[in-house]
Structure 1
């Protein structure tokens, strides 16, 4: 096993020499084998090893004895040791969550603290190939996302460094043999034999049946997991680029919006991931509820249904509202009752506003339109792209003949614009935030006019209905 794991580590460049490695050790076969493996390579790779053990207070004195056992072994092998007891039952009651989730959350909080305290480069976990197969099976049965089906990552960022899983290349049976060959007598958790927990059912009842058909199941699932994770990482990267171009995050962690027509020009796979990126942004990592394919379907139905206005409710009081060609995610307690928006103008193209009006944009060498409902400027005199949004507190605008600038609020007052219209009135700005046009009211012509070049021509009017 040692040679297999060494080759696996080197092939994936999991560990660098002269590093500090924290090892999560429960006292069971997997973690004790992991501790022993690192003890064997410690001097060769010049590693600083720190074993971290946690008593979850779930099995009375037995779990505390597990912790003491790990401490004794670390003393024998001259490995630094950190141990703690965590009150999982109290945390479970306070958070109203399941035992396994409560134990995991508390454990990872403690491990992150230790990583930061020791400025550790790696946190090594003892998950093996059979664990990966179980995780992927559970994801297949209980979830509908690629992320769940892809299983556990071989490595991921965590606290001051990375989580690594060097044993994903070997099976449970191989680890048990390694313990026997090296005279390691691990502690045994009797609850692992019970099928009360979902994972134990897959481990004890489902996985053995599958291994009858494929003894190399751990290798098959490992290769599938790697391929899925690599593909997903690329798609998430592309979805992040899409979000930067399409989604407007008006207020940190409280609202987001986008133009539906622009959103739908991207492939469906990116639309789906962009939708989840928006949710991840709005729901913080500690309160994010489970979002299933049912919620996803509701979103896409709203996206495709050509109604003027509609709204659906998501968990934790998050609202999704469609108003013509604008989709908004918002929490009502943090969002103005009057509807606001912020969109990137399509140039050339048409942008339908929430009030049903349309701003049409053209690029032309011979502008012809004039009047308060049209705006013309030279293309190379403004910072693109152009934005369409509702007014903000403190907005000011200047125009030819005005000494200085004037508050947009006062422009509305002077023009006797009704209060109920001011908060949805379109404000056209350049990419630097400079207000260029309040349709029907005021225009600002950028400086730096040139003799040649194309013009941007904008018009504001009602949406044309086609039979």
Structure 2
């Protein structure tokens, strides 16, 4: 290396202006080599912000308590503020523990940054993490934007989440830790080849390094180039969409005037903004053909999550499939922040509680433990009930009768349910009663149920 890791780290922070205005920074520390090195590097900075250390004891192994005790002593010796929570073993799900653990951690970081007034939350993701993520996304397939892997920085509930170690590979972190006598703990679960990331970490990536020792650096450079290209693509697509759509509705004739590459990218952007991310090139080709076909002024094509792209003469829009066009027991996993179009003038979504959007109408805010996630949209069933204040219940059917919902519409009425299939919202009409837990435990998540109602063309 032409300069020490510390000098490179300091220069990287200065170039990206990570601490331009930050007075307090929350730093996620697991006691692994990456987070311990990050914590050491931050303390060496001549003019660093106030450092608040955040640690989650996942209670996955006996060593978890030893790690917590060590970190407490470390922070006490250095006069660092430390906040610790436990993710109780009793709260662990039977499956999907990695995703659930991540949700617990980031909920804790969000609460803590509000409590201490931090404008930056920092994690120790490094170059190896980035390379593994990019390769896993490449193998799985999906949208081009997913190949970016891990963002160096992103908005985080009114603050900024940054990963300042992305330019550095793990061997550099190990070398620094050994050279500067930084103690760390190895997580034994990182050797479990039953976990996909570990197979890429210990088998796939080392094989590629043998082919070319610079492969991690190349992937880091591709990450930056692709992020720039995608940002430019989205800016151009948004500019075109302003000219050929009103947001929800696409003007078919204007779309047909675009070049093939522009049509493709604009269509991707328009569908993504409708909350659709699961589509492939063949589906895009079929959608493009439908929109271009002047001999077919009307038509429909099925999309993911029980949605349809509907072409009707001059306009195209995304709608819920009619009850006879989707499975009788239709259901779809809720993706936070993604809108579900119920009909031509009504959309609903579940947003993180801290998300800010003045254009939406709040329906309710609810608090849920991690085991109640993920949420699902589905059509209602006989026997579905809402919980009422005071402990009583009301059937979804009675909610529809009270609101004079027509019989034809009742058959395709949507509800929002939790992982235990308990109804939280009769969409468009009524929500369940849920008390806010005292102190909002770290394993709970607050979400907002929101809706958007728009006038259709010709309405008053």
Q: Which residue of 2 aligns with 1:187?
A: 185
Matching of residue 300 in structure 1 with residue 288 in structure 2: yes
Displacement of 1:116 = 2.7
Matching of residue 133 in structure 1 with residue 125 in structure 2: no
* Mapping for residues 288-367 of structure 1, pairs under 5 Å: 290-293=278-281, 295-306=283-294, 307-331=296-320, 334-335=342-343
- Structure 2 counterpart of 1:259, from 248, 251, 261: 251
Report if aligned partners of 1:123, 1:164 keep a CA contact under 8 Å in 2. yes
SS in 1 for 2:300: strand
Q: Which residue of 2 aligns with 1:390?
A: 457
- Structure 2 counterpart of 1:51, from 50, 53, 62: 53
- Structure 2 counterpart of 1:34, from 38, 41, 52: 38
The CA distance in 2 between the partners of 1:314 and 1:55, in whole Å, is 41
SS in 2 for 1:248: coil
Q: CA RMSD in A?
A: 2.8
SS in 2 for 1:39: helix
Q: Which residue of 1 aligns with 2:9?
A: 5
Q: Provide the TM-score with structure 1 as the length reference.
A: 0.64
Displacement of 1:55 = 2.5
Report if aligned partners of 2:148, 2:226 keep a CA contact under 8 Å in 1. yes
The CA distance in 2 between the partners of 1:295 and 1:210, in whole Å, is 33
SS in 2 for 1:152: coil
Q: Which residue of 2 aligns with 1:72?
A: 73
Report if aligned partners of 1:128, 1:168 keep a CA contact under 8 Å in 2. yes
Q: Which residue of 2 aligns with 1:21?
A: 25
- Structure 1 counterpart of 2:227, from 203, 226, 229: 229
Q: Using a 3 Å threshold, how does the CA distance of structure 1 residues 61 and 146 change in structure 2: closer, same or farther?
A: same
Displacement of 1:7 = 2.0
Q: Using a 3 Å threshold, how does the CA distance of structure 1 residues 215 and 247 change in structure 2: closer, same or farther?
A: same
Report if aligned partners of 2:134, 2:148 keep a CA contact under 8 Å in 1. yes
Say which is worse superposed, 77-86 or 101-110, in terms of deviation. Answer: 101-110
SS in 2 for 1:120: coil
The CA distance in 2 between the partners of 1:161 and 1:195, in whole Å, is 36
Displacement of 1:282 = 3.6
- Structure 1 counterpart of 2:141, from 118, 140, 143: 143
Deviations 1:192-240, CA, capped at 9 Å, x for gaps: 1122121111110011111123222232222221111111111111222
Q: Using a 3 Å threshold, how does the CA distance of structure 1 residues 258 and 209 change in structure 2: closer, same or farther?
A: same
Displacement of 1:119 = 2.7
SS in 1 for 2:317: strand
* Mapping for residues 352-431 of structure 1, pairs under 5 Å: 390-392=457-459, 395=460
Higher relative contact order (CA 8 A, sep 6+): 2
Report if aligned partners of 2:143, 2:277 keep a CA contact under 8 Å in 1. no
Displacement of 1:86 = 3.0
The CA distance in 2 between the partners of 1:281 and 1:224, in whole Å, is 25
Gapped runs of 5+ residues in structure 1?
250-255, 338-387, 396-467
The CA distance in 2 between the partners of 1:267 and 1:54, in whole Å, is 51
Displacement of 1:149 = 1.7
Q: Which residue of 1 aligns with 2:435?
A: none
Say which is worse superposed, 14-23 or 162-171, in terms of deviation. Answer: 14-23
Report if aligned partners of 1:115, 1:160 keep a CA contact under 8 Å in 2. no
Say how many residue pairs are matched: 327
Q: Provide the TM-score with structure 2 as the length reference.
A: 0.64
Report if aligned partners of 1:32, 1:186 keep a CA contact under 8 Å in 2. yes
SS in 1 for 2:54: strand
Deviations 1:103-139, CA, capped at 9 Å, x for gaps: 2223222222222332312222111112111121112
Say which is worse superposed, 322-331 or 270-279, in terms of deviation. Answer: 270-279
SS in 2 for 1:21: strand
Q: Which residue of 1 aligns with 2:399?
A: none
Gapped runs of 5+ residues in structure 2?
323-341, 346-454
